[in-house]
Amino acid sequence: MLGIIFFGCNVITFFLMAAIYMGISKPSRGKLFGIYIPPEKMSDERVTEVIQRYKTKNKIWFWISFLTMFLQLYPTDYFSIILSYFLVWTTAIIVFKMKLIANVNSELIKLKRELGWYDAVRDVEENYWHGGMFYYNPNSKKVFVNSSLVGNSSSVNLATKAGRNTMIFSAVLIILLLVPSWVLILKDDFVEPKIHISNTELTVKSAFHKVNVKLSDIEQVTVTEISGGNKVNGSGTARYARGVFYYSEYGNCDVFKYRSTKEVILIQIKNRRPLILNMPTYEETMSLYQEIMKAMP
């Protein structure tokens, strides 16, 4: 199910990128890729060569992006793999597309200067664009410029302190939101919850959920079989359930359960919700049960 959801995101991202830059290789208001080309030079052989190279590479981008997005549907029980592929694929197709635009933009600027088509007055703004994506104009104090390569959106002037801070803040925010979450999801998939039993306390901790139980508050410990459960919060995959889950027999429960093992340890606790946990195998689950019973007062 998660693979299908992320595949849908892949499809939206792919067609959005394709639509935004659709027709960009055709002259628009005297410009190609944001670069002014004299009307009589639009059909110049050297210009058409640059455009043809872009079209060839763009076809490669299109088919590689289109075909590889279906790999998101490859069945796997690991949510971290699904998420990692989505992040890598999305980043790759956007960066590759931006690189294509930047290359053709730089080629056209270089061609204009070599052939004497550059007009110092008319084309002065081209001096401030780098790769057609980044605007750097130290002669202007404007933070936002109402100009961009595609459409009528605004761009940030990176020559201003506020412009640089805006870009840095945006990049840091994305990193802080994505990287820690991604690392925790990897940990949840590949690292077993840590279970510590002391003389007074039982602690169970996974990447996103932690429970501390005083042994003196435990009323009953039993081994039973349990199925179903509706997630209240936490993480639930085909391999495990961790977090708070609702079971009709017990209500809301703290759960650390591997689905590969039917048997679970059910711990009834005074004045709080039950704790349900097990290990990847029946033998390991029973061994944990013995440890808990041995530590009980």
Query: What DSSP assignment string belongs to 66-82?
Result: HHHGGGGGS--S-HHHH
Which of 124, 152, 185 is the last residue before a domain boundary? Answer: 185
Residue 279 or residue 228, greater confidence: 279
Give the 3-state secondary structure of residue 224: strand
Same domain assignment for residues 205 and 86: no
Q: What is the pLDDT of residues 139-197, one digit of tens each?
A: 888 888 776 665 556 788 888 998 899 889 999 998 998 899 899 999 999 999 999 99
Residues 6+ apart with CB under 8 A from 184: 207, 208
Q: Please state, rounded to an integer, the average pLDDT across all residues of the chain.
A: 89
Give the 3-state secondary structure of residue 151: coil
Same domain assignment for residues 252 and 274: yes
Rounded CA-CA distance 111/54 in Å is 15
Same domain assignment for residues 156 and 207: no
Residue 20 or residue 262, greater confidence: 262
Residue type present at position 3 = G
Same domain assignment for residues 12 and 139: yes
Which structural domain range is residue 7 located in? 2-185
Residue 58's CB is within 10 A of a number of other CB atoms, namely: 19
Same domain assignment for residues 178 and 283: no
Which tokens sit at 87?
């992040």
Rounded CA-CA distance 192/194 in Å is 6
At 153 the pLDDT is: 62
Rounded CA-CA distance 22/119 in Å is 28
Same domain assignment for residues 97 and 178: yes
Q: What is the pLDDT of residues 92-103, one digit of tens each?
A: 999 999 899 888
Residue 230: give its domain's CATH number: 2.30.29
Contact call for residues 242 and 204 (beta carbons, < 8 A): no
At 147 the pLDDT is: 66
Mean pLDDT of 255-265: 94
Q: What is the pLDDT of residues 37-81, one digit of tens each?
A: 888 888 888 988 999 999 999 999 999 999 999 999 988 889 899
Same domain assignment for residues 244 and 274: yes
At 150 the pLDDT is: 58
Which of 185, 216, 244 is the last residue before a domain boundary? Answer: 185
Same domain assignment for residues 10 and 151: yes
pLDDT above 90 as % of the chain: 46
Work out whether strand 134-135 and strand 144-145 pair parallel, antiparallel, or are unpaired. unpaired
Number of domains in the chain: 2
Mean pLDDT of 195-223: 94
Same domain assignment for residues 78 and 179: yes
Same domain assignment for residues 142 and 37: yes
Work out whether strand 129-130 and strand 134-135 pair parallel, antiparallel, or are unpaired. antiparallel
At 148 the pLDDT is: 62
Same domain assignment for residues 214 and 72: no
The verdict on pTM exceeding 0.85 is no
Residue type present at position 146 = N
